[in-house]
Amino acid sequence: MHHFEEELTCSICYSIFEDPRVLPCSHTFCRNCLESVLQLSSNFSIWRPLRLPLKCPNCRSIVEIPPSGTESLPINFALKAIIEKYQQEDHPDVATCSEHYRQPLNVYCLLDRKLVCGHCLTIGKHHGHPIDDLQSAFMKEKDTPGKLLEQLTDEHWTKVCLLIEKLEEQKSHCENIVQDDKKAVLQYFKKLNDTLEHKKQALLSALDEVNAYISEEYAPLIENMKRMREEQLDLMSLNTSVQEEESPLLFLEKVDDVCQRIKVLKQKQLPDIKPVEVYPRIGQLMKDVWSKTEIGQINKILTPKIKLIPKGKVCNKASEKEREQSKELLQFINPLTVMLISMIIVIIMITFSKPVLSVVNEVTLVYISDILQFVYQDLWNNFQAVMEMLCHTSNLLREFMGRIVSFSF
């Protein structure tokens, strides 16, 4: 603390002087502080009419206080004026108490180990605590940090360094694991995205192919029908003009031309249009197969061949080649069915037989699951051919039964 500020501090309350009074020994104290000292004096009595003896807190000399008390002691006007001027000025370099306005922190509380002001000691929460002046506390506490540091041995510092190194290694290890997992996530979803994109393009290509087939089949028919319609309109217009002809010669010539054109138009055969449908429906396939397939098995889903088939009659006009394929598929279904049933039996045995379960590991189960998935997908993709074969057989039976009935009648 600055020496000038120490001169403005009462040595009893350690606060800025308030109502400074001068003792006969020339030492100055706050009037309230002198009252407190006087009341604590063993010789003090309110009934004593004589002068009151008081031991100066600074020089320890005995001084006499008039019977009227400290009120009769002279005021230190010079010091009071200096204090008033000092309090009117700002002193940013002086630490002041946050609880007591403009009171400097000039005392060190030994109990709480912190700087306090005089008001904290007299009327604040540090009342009655052991104290020390700043200079003395400074000299005592100056070597404390060094002594505490000496207690930290080389072994302690070595442990700290090792812990830091270990923590950094663990941090680096965990960060590497996280980075590896991030790479795995990115690679997995990239592969999944590539698979989905490939499947999407395959399905779209199949749809584009059947769409091109639809255009190829229907566009010529529609164009022929439009030309026939235009020819019909031309004939109707020509007939109207012929009816208006008054010359017999010209009328007969035009009538003959109209009749010839009508005969030609009538001889043109109209196409036999039957309702058809697109089979299989990709939307239904997405619901029945894709939505029930695990993500890891999507790449095993085969792209179906999309066709136009007669509505309600899947295979009335199936080609010989398709019928042969149906027969081959029918022959192939039996082994597949046997294989599927065998695998199901094996899975049931594995599930309920502990000795077998101990031998078969998880890899075998995954392998069996993949085979079942492949068989399921293969059966689904050949379902169309199976349906055509069954419909062809049904049509043959219907035709055969019809002949029997007609023969009976």
* Higher per-residue confidence, 219 vs 386: 219
Looking at residue 329, its pLDDT comes to: 46
Domain architecture of the chain: domains with CATH: 3-146 (3.30.40.10), 283-409 (no CATH)
- CB 29, CB 10: distance < 8 Å: yes
What is the rounded average pLDDT of the residues 210-222?
A: 91
Contacting residues for 239 by C-beta, under 8 A, at least 6 apart:
258
The Cα–Cα gap between 134 and 275 comes to: 109
Q: Which of 117, 141, 111, 112 is nearest to 5 (CA)?
A: 117
Q: Quick one: pLDDT band at residue 260, thresholds 50, 70, 90?
A: confident
Contacting residues for 164 by C-beta, under 8 A, at least 6 apart:
none
Is the confidence at residue 181, as pLDDT, over 60?
yes
- H or E element: which one contains 278? strand 276-279
Contacting residues for 119 by C-beta, under 8 A, at least 6 apart:
13, 15, 97, 99, 100, 103
How does strand 114-116 pair with strand 276-279? unpaired
* Higher per-residue confidence, 298 vs 149: 298
What is the rounded average pLDDT of the residues 256-280?
A: 84
* Higher per-residue confidence, 84 vs 396: 84
Per residue in 284-339, pLDDT (tens digit) is 888 888 888 888 888 888 888 888 888 765 444 444 444 554 444 444 445 556 56
Show the tokens assigned to 291.
């939505």
